[in-house]
Amino acid sequence: MRLHWAIAILIISLLCVGLLMGYLPNGGSLKSAVYNWHKTLGLLVLVLSLFRLYWRLTHKLPAQVGGVKAWEEKLAGAVHWFFYGFMIVMPFVGWGISSTSRYPSRLFNAIPLPRLPILSSVENRKEVHHFFEETHEILAYIAIALIVLHVVAAIKHQLGGKAVLARMIPAMKKDDS
């Protein structure tokens, strides 16, 4: 649960900052600081998500909430697995953008971020850079759509009397029981 909320807050912030940071004025230290922090927190998502995936695969799930339709459960399962994939692939794609950029990247706005070894001497740097940029953007829009669906579904079920949201927010559980 803690990992779910920490990662969710980080991802929602990164999506907002990512979509806005391109509009910051060029050349200033603010823009490079925001980009560097975007990269740092994006890589933190990667580390937390690898741990979360390990946790998910090595622990038993709590029993399903009753009364949820079979197709809703299937769709929720598919969206959840997309999220697990996204939480790991998205940071690597971002790292791919940085690894093929002319600009240096700094973790915590201080420590040089190494390039991904597989991309350190890529021939057609510009094309590969563009490919990663496009993929990062498309994945972001797909994720935004699915996060909206995920949140609407959680609220809808909660309001419909199925304690789905309360499973993720222990404080709500007390009220329910």
As a 3-state breakdown, the chain gives helix, strand, coil percent values, each rounded to 5, of: 75, 0, 25
Nearer to ligand HEM, 128 or 168 (CB): 168
Residue 107 DSSP symbol: E
Residue with tokens 């007390």: 174
- CB atoms near residue 39 (< 10 Å): 22
Q: Nearest approach, Cβ of 116 to ligand HEM (angstroms)?
A: 9
Nearer to ligand HEM, 124 or 173 (CB): 173
What's the CA gap between 115 and 99, in Å, rounded? 4
Name the residues that contact ligand HEM, by CB under 6 A.
4, 8, 11-12, 14-15, 18-19, 22, 35, 38-39, 42-43, 45, 56, 61, 80, 83-84, 90-91, 94-95, 97-98, 133, 136-137, 140, 147, 150-151, 154, 164-165, 167-168
Q: Nearest approach, Cβ of 103 to ligand HEM (angstroms)?
A: 8
Residue with tokens 């200033």: 28
